[in-house]
Amino acid sequence: MTEMSGAKALIKSLEKQKVDVIFGILGGAVLPIYDHFLNSEIRHILCRHEQGAAHAAEGYARASGKPGVCLATSGPGATNLVTGIANAYMDSAPIIALTGQVPTTSANTTYMIGRDSFQEADIVGITSPITKYNFQLKTAAEIPETVKNAFYIATTGRPGPVLIDIPKNLQTEIAEMDFSDKIGIKGYKPRSKPHPLQIKKAVKLLMKAEKPVILSGGGVIISNAANELLKTAEALIAPVATSFMGKGSFPENHPLSIGCIGMHGNPVANKLLCEADVVLAVGTRFSDRATGTLDTFCSSAKKIHIDIDAAEIGKNIEVDIPIVADAKKTLREINNRILKQGKNREDTPWKIRVKETKQQLNQPPNKNDKSLNPKSLLFELRKILPNDTIVTTEVGQNQMWSALYFNALKPRTFISSGGLGTMGFGFPAAIGAKVACPNKPVVDIAGDGSFRMTEQELATSVTEDIPVIVIVLNNSVLGMVAQWQRLFFKKRYSAIKLGNSPDFVKLAEAYGAQGLRAESLKEFSEAVKKALKSDVTTVIDIPISSEEDVTPMVPPGCGINAQVGKY
């Protein structure tokens, strides 16, 4: 037991969790905490908006596999974190959100919570639906145990955000602190080990399958199961499709890779998934954008679903063999049983079918087309960037073009907002990813509408010396909404024109970053190479047509077998 203030105990507790960086913005309700940062080796990165801090924490978490931490003051500071917390919740990212709060009862302070005090907000109530768990501290002595439990909850089972709300008076209160490493949370016992009987059933079904397909989701990346997935696919000679969140879980230059599924999925993935007789789904929640209409999704296939979260089993799609367990442990058990049986599946008609379908439907860019179109740009970008480059995206057309045309080769190298679809996510997430992996290039593929929502974080990247690259596919409209109005509202455009302001080159330079503009594929290539050598953040502005659509596409209300348009 050690006597100290709550703020000091918080910093020490974070240090015990091996936290090396926090993204945040200070305010009156967290001043005691910030005072103790001066005596800590934890790096604090001053963001320019709390939403940026939350997204940066998620980018850090998803690039590193470690929990990201963000910090904000009470009231508006806390509520500005909400979008980032919700994003992390939807995409199962482990972040710890720390918020200041007006004082609670103590010997020296009038009770203020619940009196509509200055900058008071019920952040616990607000975030209850979008956190895995949240805490509001009642005494300073609770701080070490609460922090320890918060990190454990955020990182075990299905990861997710955890919020700790810290009244200001507890930050200065002196108390006896117990920094024990023992963890005991009643009622919280996440399951990770697969049931042997379910493994046996799954392997039996897979070995009998003539047209197996593996659907890999974000859970494969979270559980670090990419190697096990690769072994399973090669042992079964099964093509691997990914959900959008699973992009990067399987190398997309591998002969068995068939790309992302869904509304804007790779036509090969959508087609072959519908032909499968057995689908092995790993760490995916079968979201509506992935499946299209539920009654047509793999309707003739037997389905095996592996997920750490029992609530996902049968939620959207009925499955034949459910396995509630960690993806890595489960795939390892499946691989062991497959290897013992030793069946040779090298030359199967299915393997030939997969190869032929990829040759028919996946066409490279037309070399004779000199226009600056997204497909050519992203193919060129893949040629230039090192294999371990981390790519984040904004949300909209830029995001779907990236999913279609930019091959992710390694886990944790493609980071985007999946479930919530948060515009403004990509740039601060890129900053967080760069902090987590300072020796890797980090590139944000952006649209002009999405980038404008968090462009103020240019100040963060420059001031804190966090050089990333932002590629702005600039069509001067809210592109995805414009596409829907074009296709489904008879070109009745409403509230989608952004105009040509700002000049992104001048905007970057105003913040002290490097601004470049590319108006040809050659200029784009030169700009990216120049940006890779830069020691400051670079924004590359690329004017593209406002009439450019993301195709192919599954029309609303249809199944993925009804995809239209060319790849």
Residue 438: alpha-carbon gap to chain centroid = 19
Neighbours of 491 (CB within 10 A): 10
Q: Which residues contact 431 (CB under 8 A, 6 or more apart)?
A: 45, 52, 56, 59, 457, 460, 461, 466, 468
- Report the catalytic residues: 50, 118-119, 168, 480
Measuring CA to CA, how many Å separate 239 from each of 235, 285, 341? 11, 19, 20
Three-state DSSP class for residue 320: coil
DSSP at 366: P
Give the 3-state DSSP-derived string for 442-489, with helices as H, strands as E and coil as C. Answer: EEEEEEHHHHCCCHHHHHHHHHCCCCCEEEEEECCECHHHHHHHHHHC
Residue pair 496/521 in contact by the 8 Å Cβ criterion: no
Nearest to 472 by CA among 498, 490, 493, 495: 498
Indicate if the alpha-carbon torsion angle 13, 19, 25, 31 is positive or negative.
positive
Which residue in the block uniquely carries the two structure tokens 């995809």? 563
Q: Are 78 and 123 in contact (CB under 8 A)?
A: yes
The Cβ-side half-sphere exposure at 16, using a 13 Å CA radius, reads 21
| H runs (alpha helix) in 6-163 | 6-16, 31-37, 50-64, 76-79, 82-90, 123-127, 143-155
Strands 21-24, 68-72: parallel, antiparallel or unpaired by DSSP? parallel
C-alpha span between 21 and 34 (Å, rounded): 13
Distances from the Cα of 303 to the Cα of 198, 222, 269, 271, 441, angstroms: 13, 22, 16, 17, 38
Give me the torsion for CA of 210, 215, 221, 226, rounded to 10°.
20
- Which pair of tokens denotes residue 95? 């972040």
CA distances from 461 to 47, 434, 451, 506 (A): 9, 10, 14, 16
Residue 185 tokens, joined: 């949370």
C-alpha pair distances (Å), 355 with each of 8, 272, 323, 376: 60, 11, 30, 23
Identify which of 200, 213, 309, 185 has the alpha carbon closest to the alpha carbon of residue 270: 213
Q: In sequence order, what are the residues at sequence separation of 6 or more whose Cβ sits closer than 8 angstroms to the Cβ of residue 76? A: 119, 121
Q: Prior bond to 251 cis, omega within 30?
A: no
| Ramachandran assignment for 389, one of left (phi > 0), alpha (psi -120 to 50 degrees), beta (any other) | beta
